[in-house]
Structure 1
């Protein structure tokens, strides 16, 4: 518990520097390209169009609806957070390994490095979310009270991704093969989450399998974003699932903090 509190204090006290580093990294990544940071939005947009063409207009049929919503709107509600989650898992796990030599020369807590990755990826995520909101309204779906819980699920996503990245970034320094395992696992996660298929409906005859899939906290987050924008359930309607998510996240943060504090003075030795 002491380790978790210390890590959280370090992160919150260094937030201004985290923001500056995130902006710097975002600019430096695209500074050699003609379109610059525009590629942060072009890449996911191209992928969205590809998925819509294949799974929307192609396989499912252009007029197929899901839960009374056009498939493209239903799919976007799940795939936009995935465009944040996927790179954050991979970049967050590598955040300490890539930047330890840089921050070792600065008065900057190593525990805040995963937060730099999260903030950097949030820039494009917010842009994509704004585009999605505009698409919803242009399709005749306007804000309702359900949209307010978007901010709750945004907090859930940031909290979980930091906890997960803190743990992963420590293990990745100690065991470099872990990075390859994460890459393979992330590709598999895409097909196990309710991104382009309705898990509960498709596997209605296999409730046990649905329960197993829902044990993944990312399911809670993605399904929550969809419930927010497409007028689904409120987060407090399923108290047990909400408690499960937060207990899992806090456990992950606790374990990650303990490992991080135990090994961070030795990180340089593993490079």
Structure 2
């Protein structure tokens, strides 16, 4: 746990640097585009529209999910995923792509994944606000259930940091890890309750799918945005998620601290 605290202190002490570099990266990415940072909203909107057309109208024929219109049900689950998916893949390459620049200066390498996480958070938070407004306008405001949104945001960011810290370290050492992560994230979307409802599956299959911590997050954001239950009602699953997340954070911190002084050797 000492290594975890060491890495977390680096994030806290360099929080201002993380936000500044994240802002500059986002600004620089869209600097030569006519629509600029508007693409951060346009891209997810186009993806959501395509998934709704294919799965909502095409496959389901517009049928609701548990009394909730499919579009609203989809929106509450896919908005977190459109943040999770690119963040994991991009942050997993963050150390490898920048190590040659920071190797010759005193720079906390552990903040590189955090820069990507924060950079992608700008559009995510905005999309989250838009989602809440759309749900409210359609009579699906979750009311007091929305109070658990900060909890699930905490779950999301702790898990993302642990995973990307681990993957970014391993990717620097073994290049194949980046391709493995990218391929896994592509497949994982269809193994989560994002585009389809798992209620009709046998309980054993649902239990297996729940081993994926992202399942907990997708369902959690739906609970917060649409309502229906509180995060503490399924206490065993909550405990499992946090044990898994803390384990990943410990492993990621240990591996990162052990190898970060040798990153230059792997360039």
Q: Normalized against structure 1, the TM-score is what?
A: 0.96
Match of 2:157 in 1: 158
Report the RMSD for the aligned CA atoms in angstroms.
1.0
Flag the 1:106–1:24 CA change in 2: closer, same or farther, 3 A.
Answer: farther
| CA-CA distance at 1:103 after TM superposition | 2.7
Query: Which secondary structure does the structure 2 equivalent of 1:248 belong to?
Result: helix
Inter-partner Cα distance in structure 2 for 1:14 and 1:102: 18
Partner of 2:172: 173
**How far off its partner does 1:104 sit?**
3.0
Equivalent residue, structure 1, for 2:200: 202
Contact kept? 1:92, 1:118, Cα under 8 Å: yes
1:65-144 pair list within 5 angstroms: 65-144=64-143
State the shift of 1:56 in Å: 1.1
2:237 corresponds, among 237, 241, 244, to 241
**Conserved? CA contact 2:142–2:227, under 8 Å:** no
Contact 1:14 / 1:108 at 8 angstroms: preserved in 2?
Answer: no
**Counterpart in the other structure of 2:228:** 232
Aligned partners of 2:196 and 2:214: how far apart in 1? 15
Moved over 4 A (4+): none
Q: Report the equivalent of 1:59.
A: 59
**Would the alpha carbon gap of residues 260 and 50 (structure 1) be closer, same or farther in structure 2, given more than 3 Å must change?**
same
Contact 1:172–1:178 (Cα < 8 Å) also in 2: yes
Which of 245, 252, 256 pairs up with 1:256? 252
Residues in 1 aligned to 2:2 and 2:141: alpha-carbon distance in whole angstroms = 45
Pick which of 141-150 and 18-27 moved more. Answer: 141-150
Shift of 1:106: 4.3
CA deviation digits over 1:180-237, x for unaligned, max 9? Answer: 11111011100000101111x120xx21111111010000001000011111221101
1:6, CA displacement in angstroms? Answer: 0.5
**Residues in 2 aligned to 1:246 and 1:105: alpha-carbon distance in whole angstroms:** 37
Deviations along 1:86-145, one digit per CA (max 9) or x if unpaired, are 001101110101112233344431111111011001001011111111211221223511
What residue ranges of structure 1 are gaps of 5+ in the alignment?
none
Equivalent residues in 2 for 1:31-50, closer than 5 Å: 31-50=31-50
SS in 2 for 1:61: coil
Distance in structure 1 (CA, Å) of the matches to 2:47 and 2:125: 17
Distance across 1 between alignment mates of 2:221 and 2:118: 19
